[in-house]
Structure 1
């Protein structure tokens, strides 16, 4: 698996990845986005922003990059950067299929993405990803699996994914929604020829949404690499939106709310890679301090008190505007 390359890396930031959801398209649901991005959100402007972030991340030891077909032009921006950096051969690249970007580079589209986990969508999007990333793609994930997803029961799709795995591609899945635990456990039962199909799982986990932890621990014990997304809860854990408890702990550590929030995730024994969704180089540098945050038992207990019921968390997330 490509993640063995990360396991062999000794830099503290090797297990922090860079997700390009926030900079691969002009509209997203992160709080504070108006201040994070310039007024010019043209393709060229966001391409340049993405490349600046990739340069900074690589220089500071980040070796995993996460994109998706639905993240606007994220795959294209990453492919351009890889082509221009012939010296970069140790980056692990993960992408996702299952959502189609439909906003046409607009921040106020009626629908920004459309979900479809059919075999036809896989074949179309796999070809699109392959045209951009080719043999630089290490990991291909089903995007946002829920317990009712047909991707969990479609045997023909499973066979095609297993074929891709036989050809050297790592196959994984991501989850979203209040029933992440059920989705993870259902996916762990998917086999082809008696062998587990999936080798990675990417799920939402943060100090506000901790419900997937038991299932993620089970996935880790089953040999899957766990990737954590939305560690900042779409900006809810970043100053100035952070809860008072998080601000207090951050002040005690002398670091930012973001570093503390991500540090909690890095401490989980099942967490393989924790994604930074930074939109600026300054944010990225602050996020990477998570690797050196030292939290005591009292601070961890206070932060644990912030956990919300999954239904409440996901309802609030669903109300965040695209901007």
Structure 2
């Protein structure tokens, strides 16, 4: 089974991972980013910030770390950290290919990343990832599969991915957009030599965007490990930006809105790992309180009412500025 080491972990926070999208590059779409990072966003400043987050996460029981080729220098920062800690053999490392980072370490680029799921892009990015992470890479995911993605039908690509799987790398995919459920169900039918190709799925699921839930349950039942990303809805469920209902439940539990938002994910029986996208050590510590949240039926009902139509949710997400 994929992530067997995570399943065997003894700490509750083994079900919380750390994603590096917010700290691997100077620009991202999270609300509150100016306050989180300030103006100093040099490569070395963000490298140090990333290492501090990784240290704090590991010390508190987190064992899954998630990067991507398009997250600026996230793979490089993670690789540096791993190299300095060769004795940490209980870590699971995931990365993603399919988007190329194009912002050149700026926050105001015309395009921050370019999507391409071709075999040529896979070959190039697989080589780039291997150069940095080597045999520390456990999971390689196709980044943001949609129902019309050629990655779902390209047999040559499937053969390449199966070859990587035969070499010991778990193969997965992530999804984005209002049709995530359709993409998940399509991916579940992809096989190579009669065997399912994908062993993990990483999807957006949170209090505002719940549409992928039934398909993620199906993926779990089919034997895939489910990773949940954007549990904080790019900051829309955090602190000052959280809906009133979420703030009220947070006050009732004496915890942060972020912990409540992530706890909603962890209570789903199909959720294997929920990612923290923390940009500060303080945010990470608050996120990790999700492992001990206990919500009653009334609180759950109030939070369930926050769900938006998926098209509305993704339209709002698409309007968030890079900063």
Counterpart for residue 42 of structure 1? 42
Q: Please give the per-residue CA displacement for 1:92-151, whole angstroms capped at 9, x wherever unaligned.
A: 000000000000000000000000000000000000000000000000000000000000
Structure 1 equivalent of residue 304 of structure 2: 304
Unaligned runs of 5+ in 2: none
8 Å Cα contact 2:236/2:242 also seen in 1: yes
Question: Is the 1:22–1:278 Cα contact (8 Å) retained in structure 2?
Answer: yes
Paired residue for 1:56? 56
Unmatched 5+ stretches in structure 1 = none
Are the equivalent residues in 2 in contact too, given 1:64–1:93 (CA < 8 A)?
Answer: yes
**Secondary structure at 2:9 match in 1:** coil
1:150 aligns with 2:161: no
In the other structure, the counterpart of 1:92 is 92
**Secondary structure at the residue paired with 2:117?**
coil
C-alpha offsets along residues 207-227 of structure 1, whole Å, 9 cap, x if unaligned? 000000000000000000000
Q: How does 1:169-318 map to 2 (within 5 A)?
A: 169-318=169-318
Is the contact between residue 51 and residue 77 of structure 2 (CA under 8 Å) also seen in structure 1? Answer: yes
> Could you report, residue by residue, the CA deviation over 1:273-304 in whole angstroms, capped at 9, with x for unpaired residues?
00000000000000000000010111011100
Paired residues of 1:94 and 1:139 also in contact (CA < 8 A): yes
Task: Tell me by how many angstroms 1:87 deviates.
Answer: 2.5
The answer to whether the 8 Å contact 1:2/1:92 transfers is: no
Q: Check conservation: 2:94, 2:137, Cα contact below 8 A.
A: yes
- Does the 8 Å CA contact 1:2/1:138 hold for their aligned counterparts? no
The C-alpha deviation readout for 1:23-54, integer Å capped at 9, x for no partner, is 00000000000000031100000000000000
Corresponding residue of 2:27: 27
Specify the alignment match of 1:109 in structure 2.
Answer: 109
What is the distance in 1 between the residues matched to 2:149 and 2:86? 39
State the 1:2 CA deviation: 4.3
Q: d(CA) in 2 for partners of 1:215 and 1:272?
A: 14
What's the secondary structure of 1:96's corresponding residue? strand
TM-score normalised by the chain length of structure 1 = 0.99
* Corresponding residue SS for 2:239: coil
Distance 1:225 1:267 in 2: 15
SS at match of 2:131: helix
- CA deviations on 1:296-321 (whole Å, 9 max, x unpaired) are 11101110000000000000000000
Separation in 2 of the partners of 1:85 and 1:39? Answer: 30
Aligned partners of 1:289, 1:2: CA distance in 2, in Å?
A: 25
TM-score by length of 2: 0.99
Secondary structure of the 2:201 match is strand
Report the Cα offset of residue 85 of structure 1.
Answer: 1.2
For residues 4 and 221 of structure 2, the distance between their equivalents in structure 1, rounded to whole angstroms, comes to 16
Mean Cα deviation higher: 48-57 or 86-95: 86-95
Separation in structure 1 between the aligned mates of residue 40 and residue 99 of structure 2, nearest angstrom: 26
Whole-Å Cα distance in 2 between the matches of residues 180 and 79 of structure 1? 30
Distance 2:2 2:70 in 1: 23
Q: What is the alpha-carbon distance in structure 2 between the residues aligned to residue 225 and residue 275 of structure 1?
A: 13
